[in-house]
Copies of this chain bind each other. A is one copy, B any other.
Amino acid sequence: MPKVTSGGPTRDHGDPGDAPTVPPPLIEPVNTVRPSAAEEARTIAASTNTGTLATLTEHGDPWASFVTYGLLTGDPVLCVSNLAEHGRNLAHDARASIAIVAPATQSDPLASGRVTLAGYVEAPDGEERTAARDAHLAAVAAARYYIDYSDFTLWVLRVQRVRWVGGYGRMDSTTGAEYRAAGPDPVTPHAGAAVAHLNADHADTLAAMARTLGGYPDTVAATCTGADRYGLDLRLDTERGLAYTRIGYPRPIDSVDELRSATVELAHLARGG
């Protein structure tokens, strides 16, 4: 089972979020288990097929450029032209990082999750080359038109260092090894409809969860902002202002199909069951 961090969000600096101050919980939340930074990073990397690569020019200057990628055990597989500036840069200096932004779910861009994967590129050989080629093609259908052109090179970015930012005030770092050992969340990418259903039809239950399980007995209303294999993220209107909390399921789930039974169980617990 993947490593799980518990407890509140990691904060690097004063929260510049929606409110000048966020009221703290009045009682200890019951279970704030959430995905590890490595899992969050794997989930973001799996959520799209485009990112921005940072490479070094011949003068050692930093060069940002748009790329597509597939994933091989979490390591990005790039297919770039040797005639393009980033292709020349990689051939000259293998150091690289890629920034990947999760598809936006909120109007404020800095509320989106994003990750930087840093390391160095290598051109894969033999069976790994076949697997890398397949991984790129699976993610980038249009690459079939150019992947075998002589001026294109397939590169695997060997991730050594990972920086994950989950939005305002949630962030952490991890190693390439932890990142590769983690798995992308099986629930998050498929939870949109279920989350919308919770908000549309079970707002009272969400508020009850926030009051008894989430540490905010003064909750007036609660909105679910996301679900993953470990629990639900809630945004709260409380008598003291806007707040956020986390409601972990009693046990992690493995697919979105288990989300209904997990939330029913949480509802039962929230009502003193």
Contact = CB atoms under 8 A, between A and B. Distances in A.
A129 interface: no
Contacts of A259: none
Contacts of A84: 12
B62 A13 contact: no
Interface in A122-152: 140-142, 145-146, 149, 151-152
A17 B50 contact: no
Interface in A22-45: none
Give the one of A54, A62, A85, A142 with max B CB within 10 A: A62
A16 B149 contact: yes
Interface string A59-76: 011111110100000000
A253 interface: no
Counting every copy of the chain, the complex holds 2
A13 B110 contact: no
B110 A142 contact: yes
B68 A63 contact: no
Interface string A8-25: 000011101110100000
A62 B16 contact: no
A81 interface: yes
A201 interface: no
Interface of A: 12-14, 16-18, 20, 49-56, 60-66, 68, 81, 83-85, 95-99, 101, 108-112, 114, 116, 118, 140-142, 145-146, 149, 151-152, 163, 165
